[in-house]
Amino acid sequence: MTSISMPGHDRASLFSAPRDAAMVAPSILSADFGRLEVECKAVLDQGADLLHLDVMDGHFVPNLSMGPALCASLRRHFPNTFLDVHMMVTHPGDFIEPFAKAGADHFTIHVECEEDPQSLADAIRQSGMTAGLAIKPDTDFSRMEPLIDSFDLLLVMSVHPGFSGQAFIPEVLETTRRLKAMIGPNQHIQMDGGVDPKTAIECRQAGCDVLVAASAIFKQDDYRQAIAEIRGS
Ligand code: DX5
Ligand code: ZN
Protein backbone atom coordinates (compact mmCIF):
# COMPACT_ATOMS: atom_id res chain seq x y z
CA MET A 1 0.00 0.00 0.00
CA THR A 2 1.07 3.56 -0.61
CA SER A 3 2.64 5.47 2.21
CA ILE A 4 4.14 8.89 2.11
CA SER A 5 6.86 10.47 4.10
CA MET A 6 6.62 14.13 5.00
CA PRO A 7 9.90 15.28 6.50
CA GLY A 8 9.46 18.61 8.24
CA HIS A 9 6.08 17.56 9.63
CA ASP A 10 6.58 16.35 13.15
CA ARG A 11 3.30 14.60 13.89
CA ALA A 12 3.77 14.88 17.63
CA SER A 13 3.95 18.66 17.72
CA LEU A 14 1.99 19.95 14.75
CA PHE A 15 -0.70 21.56 16.94
CA SER A 16 1.38 22.08 20.10
CA ALA A 17 4.26 24.22 18.88
CA PRO A 18 4.54 27.49 16.98
CA ARG A 19 4.79 27.27 13.19
CA ASP A 20 5.87 29.89 10.68
CA ALA A 21 3.27 29.53 7.94
CA ALA A 22 -0.46 28.89 7.96
CA MET A 23 -1.37 25.21 7.72
CA VAL A 24 -3.89 23.89 5.20
CA ALA A 25 -6.08 21.02 6.34
CA PRO A 26 -8.20 19.38 3.62
CA SER A 27 -11.44 18.00 5.03
CA ILE A 28 -11.92 14.59 3.42
CA LEU A 29 -15.69 15.06 3.69
CA SER A 30 -15.67 16.33 0.10
CA ALA A 31 -13.27 13.68 -1.23
CA ASP A 32 -14.47 10.89 -3.48
CA PHE A 33 -14.83 8.14 -0.86
CA GLY A 34 -14.45 5.47 -3.51
CA ARG A 35 -10.98 6.77 -4.29
CA LEU A 36 -10.06 7.95 -0.83
CA GLU A 37 -6.44 6.77 -0.76
CA VAL A 38 -5.75 8.37 -4.14
CA GLU A 39 -7.47 11.59 -3.11
CA CYS A 40 -5.59 11.84 0.19
CA LYS A 41 -2.24 11.10 -1.44
CA ALA A 42 -2.94 13.76 -4.04
CA VAL A 43 -3.65 16.56 -1.55
CA LEU A 44 -0.67 15.58 0.62
CA ASP A 45 1.66 15.42 -2.35
CA GLN A 46 0.38 18.82 -3.44
CA GLY A 47 1.03 20.71 -0.25
CA ALA A 48 -1.54 19.80 2.41
CA ASP A 49 -0.13 19.79 5.94
CA LEU A 50 -2.51 17.22 7.43
CA LEU A 51 -5.90 15.55 6.94
CA HIS A 52 -9.07 16.74 8.69
CA LEU A 53 -11.68 14.07 9.49
CA ASP A 54 -15.24 15.29 10.14
CA VAL A 55 -17.03 12.85 12.42
CA MET A 56 -20.84 13.21 12.65
CA ASP A 57 -23.34 11.20 14.66
CA GLY A 58 -26.69 12.17 13.10
CA HIS A 59 -27.66 13.74 16.44
CA PHE A 60 -25.34 16.66 17.19
CA VAL A 61 -25.58 17.46 13.47
CA PRO A 62 -28.11 16.16 10.93
CA ASN A 63 -25.64 14.02 9.01
CA LEU A 64 -23.58 10.84 9.33
CA SER A 65 -20.03 10.55 8.14
CA MET A 66 -17.07 8.48 9.35
CA GLY A 67 -15.69 6.70 12.40
CA PRO A 68 -12.56 5.13 13.93
CA ALA A 69 -12.33 2.36 11.31
CA LEU A 70 -11.75 4.89 8.59
CA CYS A 71 -9.17 6.69 10.73
CA ALA A 72 -7.33 3.38 11.29
CA SER A 73 -7.36 2.71 7.59
CA LEU A 74 -5.89 6.13 6.82
CA ARG A 75 -3.24 5.60 9.48
CA ARG A 76 -2.17 2.34 7.79
CA HIS A 77 -1.93 3.98 4.38
CA PHE A 78 -0.39 7.26 5.61
CA PRO A 79 1.82 6.42 8.60
CA ASN A 80 3.47 9.85 8.77
CA THR A 81 0.46 12.07 8.18
CA PHE A 82 -1.10 14.12 10.97
CA LEU A 83 -4.75 13.09 11.40
CA ASP A 84 -6.99 15.79 12.88
CA VAL A 85 -10.38 14.52 14.06
CA HIS A 86 -13.29 16.97 14.45
CA MET A 87 -16.02 15.43 16.58
CA MET A 88 -19.47 16.78 15.73
CA VAL A 89 -21.10 14.35 18.14
CA THR A 90 -23.13 14.67 21.34
CA HIS A 91 -20.93 12.34 23.45
CA PRO A 92 -17.34 12.66 22.22
CA GLY A 93 -15.91 11.08 25.39
CA ASP A 94 -17.04 7.66 24.18
CA PHE A 95 -14.73 7.94 21.19
CA ILE A 96 -11.46 9.24 22.64
CA GLU A 97 -9.90 5.82 23.11
CA PRO A 98 -11.23 4.35 19.84
CA PHE A 99 -9.74 7.23 17.85
CA ALA A 100 -6.47 7.21 19.81
CA LYS A 101 -6.14 3.49 19.06
CA ALA A 102 -7.02 4.19 15.43
CA GLY A 103 -3.98 6.47 15.18
CA ALA A 104 -5.54 9.92 15.43
CA ASP A 105 -3.13 12.68 16.43
CA HIS A 106 -5.61 15.35 17.42
CA PHE A 107 -9.18 15.32 18.74
CA THR A 108 -11.45 18.38 18.71
CA ILE A 109 -14.68 18.39 20.71
CA HIS A 110 -17.48 20.98 20.65
CA VAL A 111 -18.16 23.28 23.57
CA GLU A 112 -21.86 22.56 22.86
CA CYS A 113 -21.54 18.80 23.44
CA GLU A 114 -23.28 17.20 26.42
CA GLU A 115 -20.11 16.46 28.39
CA ASP A 116 -17.63 18.48 30.46
CA PRO A 117 -15.02 19.96 28.09
CA GLN A 118 -12.38 20.30 30.82
CA SER A 119 -12.57 16.59 31.71
CA LEU A 120 -12.51 15.70 28.04
CA ALA A 121 -9.39 17.80 27.47
CA ASP A 122 -7.61 15.85 30.21
CA ALA A 123 -8.75 12.50 28.80
CA ILE A 124 -7.71 13.45 25.27
CA ARG A 125 -4.22 14.40 26.44
CA GLN A 126 -3.90 11.23 28.53
CA SER A 127 -4.67 9.22 25.40
CA GLY A 128 -1.70 10.84 23.65
CA MET A 129 -3.56 13.23 21.33
CA THR A 130 -3.61 17.02 21.34
CA ALA A 131 -6.95 18.58 22.25
CA GLY A 132 -9.15 21.04 20.40
CA LEU A 133 -12.29 22.97 21.38
CA ALA A 134 -14.78 24.05 18.71
CA ILE A 135 -17.53 26.65 18.83
CA LYS A 136 -20.53 26.94 16.50
CA PRO A 137 -21.26 30.32 14.87
CA ASP A 138 -24.27 31.14 17.09
CA THR A 139 -22.82 30.05 20.43
CA ASP A 140 -21.91 32.75 22.93
CA PHE A 141 -18.14 33.18 23.17
CA SER A 142 -18.42 33.25 26.98
CA ARG A 143 -18.82 29.45 26.88
CA MET A 144 -15.41 29.00 25.26
CA GLU A 145 -13.53 31.76 27.04
CA PRO A 146 -12.85 30.05 30.42
CA LEU A 147 -11.65 26.89 28.69
CA ILE A 148 -9.14 28.36 26.26
CA ASP A 149 -6.02 27.59 28.30
CA SER A 150 -6.90 23.88 28.45
CA PHE A 151 -6.75 23.30 24.71
CA ASP A 152 -4.00 23.22 22.07
CA LEU A 153 -6.32 24.40 19.33
CA LEU A 154 -9.47 26.50 19.18
CA LEU A 155 -11.76 25.79 16.24
CA VAL A 156 -14.04 28.58 15.05
CA MET A 157 -16.86 27.14 12.94
CA SER A 158 -17.62 29.48 10.05
CA VAL A 159 -20.71 27.53 8.92
CA HIS A 160 -23.39 25.65 10.82
CA PRO A 161 -21.75 22.24 11.09
CA GLY A 162 -23.00 19.19 9.25
CA PHE A 163 -22.33 19.70 5.59
CA SER A 164 -19.59 20.94 3.33
CA GLY A 165 -20.19 23.48 0.58
CA GLN A 166 -21.91 26.18 2.67
CA ALA A 167 -21.19 29.92 2.58
CA PHE A 168 -18.69 31.45 5.04
CA ILE A 169 -20.28 33.39 7.93
CA PRO A 170 -18.10 36.53 8.29
CA GLU A 171 -19.31 37.40 11.81
CA VAL A 172 -17.05 34.67 13.21
CA LEU A 173 -13.97 36.69 12.28
CA GLU A 174 -14.63 38.77 15.40
CA THR A 175 -14.49 35.59 17.53
CA THR A 176 -11.19 34.77 15.85
CA ARG A 177 -9.73 38.18 16.64
CA ARG A 178 -10.76 37.87 20.28
CA LEU A 179 -9.20 34.43 20.50
CA LYS A 180 -6.00 35.61 18.87
CA ALA A 181 -5.57 38.21 21.60
CA MET A 182 -5.98 35.56 24.29
CA ILE A 183 -3.97 32.52 23.18
CA GLY A 184 -0.34 31.65 23.87
CA PRO A 185 2.43 31.05 21.33
CA ASN A 186 1.92 27.27 21.27
CA GLN A 187 -1.83 27.43 20.67
CA HIS A 188 -3.55 27.47 17.29
CA ILE A 189 -6.77 28.83 15.80
CA GLN A 190 -8.52 26.76 13.16
CA MET A 191 -11.27 27.99 10.84
CA ASP A 192 -13.67 25.45 9.37
CA GLY A 193 -16.46 26.05 6.86
CA GLY A 194 -16.66 28.02 3.65
CA VAL A 195 -12.90 28.60 3.58
CA ASP A 196 -11.67 29.33 0.06
CA PRO A 197 -8.82 31.43 -1.37
CA LYS A 198 -10.83 34.65 -0.78
CA THR A 199 -12.21 34.02 2.70
CA ALA A 200 -8.86 32.54 3.77
CA ILE A 201 -7.29 35.99 3.45
CA GLU A 202 -9.65 37.38 6.08
CA CYS A 203 -9.19 34.30 8.27
CA ARG A 204 -5.42 34.66 8.26
CA GLN A 205 -5.64 38.40 8.91
CA ALA A 206 -7.89 37.72 11.91
CA GLY A 207 -5.29 35.38 13.39
CA CYS A 208 -6.29 31.96 12.16
CA ASP A 209 -3.35 29.66 11.33
CA VAL A 210 -5.03 26.35 10.48
CA LEU A 211 -7.38 26.54 7.52
CA VAL A 212 -9.79 23.67 6.90
CA ALA A 213 -11.30 23.37 3.44
CA ALA A 214 -13.34 20.60 1.86
CA SER A 215 -15.03 21.80 -1.33
CA ALA A 216 -12.50 24.57 -2.05
CA ILE A 217 -9.88 21.82 -2.42
CA PHE A 218 -11.52 18.53 -3.42
CA LYS A 219 -14.01 20.11 -5.84
CA GLN A 220 -11.20 21.86 -7.75
CA ASP A 221 -9.19 20.45 -10.64
CA ASP A 222 -5.85 21.78 -9.39
CA TYR A 223 -5.28 20.78 -5.76
CA ARG A 224 -1.83 22.37 -5.62
CA GLN A 225 -3.12 25.78 -6.66
CA ALA A 226 -6.10 25.62 -4.31
CA ILE A 227 -3.92 24.68 -1.33
CA ALA A 228 -1.30 27.34 -2.11
CA GLU A 229 -3.94 30.06 -2.48
CA ILE A 230 -5.66 29.11 0.79
CA ARG A 231 -2.29 29.17 2.58
CA GLY A 232 -1.55 32.56 1.01
CA SER A 233 1.70 31.42 -0.56
C1 DX5 B 1 -18.65 21.14 8.43
C2 DX5 B 1 -17.31 20.44 8.58
C3 DX5 B 1 -16.32 21.04 7.68
C4 DX5 B 1 -16.75 20.97 6.26
C5 DX5 B 1 -16.10 22.07 5.49
O6 DX5 B 1 -19.59 20.54 9.18
O7 DX5 B 1 -16.82 20.52 9.88
O8 DX5 B 1 -15.01 20.51 7.86
O9 DX5 B 1 -16.49 19.74 5.69
O10 DX5 B 1 -16.58 22.05 4.19
P11 DX5 B 1 -16.38 23.30 3.21
O12 DX5 B 1 -14.92 23.62 3.23
O13 DX5 B 1 -16.84 22.80 1.89
O14 DX5 B 1 -17.22 24.39 3.75
ZN1 ZN C 1 -14.48 20.02 10.36
CA of 8 to the centre of ligand 2 (A): 24
User: Of 54, 57, 84, 152, which is the active-site residue?
Assistant: 54
> Which residues, by Cβ under 5 Å, contact ligand 2, an ion?
54, 86, 192
CA of 191 to the centre of ligand 2 (A): 9
CA of 208 to the centre of ligand 2 (A): 15
pTM score, whole prediction: 0.96
Minimum CA distance residue for ligand 1 atom 10: 164
pLDDT bucket at 11, cuts 50 / 70 / 90: confident
Average pLDDT on 140-153 reads: 98
Outline where the chain has alpha helix (H): 36-45, 68-77, 96-101, 117-126, 172-180, 197-206, 215-218, 223-231
pLDDT of res. 12: 73
Q: How many helices (H) and strands (E) does the chain have?
A: 8, 8
pLDDT of res. 9: 60
Q: Nearest ligand to the C-alpha of residue 158?
A: 1
For the chain, what are the domain ranges?
20-231
User: Of 49, 152, 192, 196, which is the active-site residue?
Assistant: 192
Active site residue 54: yes
CA of 93 to the centre of ligand 1 (A): 22
Q: Which CATH number does the domain 20-231 belong to among 3.40.50.2000, 2.60.120.1440, 3.20.20.70, 3.40.50.150?
A: 3.20.20.70
pLDDT bucket at 13, cuts 50 / 70 / 90: confident
Of residues 23 and 11, which shows the higher confidence score?
23
Q: How many CB atoms lie within 10 A of CB 220?
A: 16
Q: Give 110-165 as a 3 state SS string.
A: ECCCCCCHHHHHHHHHHCCCEEEEEECCCCCHHHCHHHHHHCCEEEEECCCCCCCC
Minimum CA distance residue for ligand 1 atom 9: 164
Q: Indicate whether 133 pLDDT > 60.
A: yes
Residue-wise pLDDT for 148-171, tens only, equals: 999 999 999 999 999 999 999 999
Report the residue among 61, 83, 107, 212 best suited for mutation to probe ligand 1: largest number of ligand atoms under 8 A from its CB: 212
What residues flank ligand 1, with Cβ below 6 Å? 27, 29-30, 52, 54, 86, 159, 161-166, 192-195, 212-216
Q: Indicate whether 1 pLDDT > 90.
A: no
| Rg for the chain, CA atoms, rounded | 16
pLDDT of res. 5: 45
Q: Give the CB-side neighbour count of residue 12, counting CA atoms within 13 A.
A: 1
Q: Indicate whether 60 pLDDT > 90.
A: yes
CA of 133 to the centre of ligand 2 (A): 12
Q: Indicate whether 10 pLDDT > 50.
A: yes
- Beta strand 188-192 with 153-157: parallel, antiparallel or unpaired? parallel
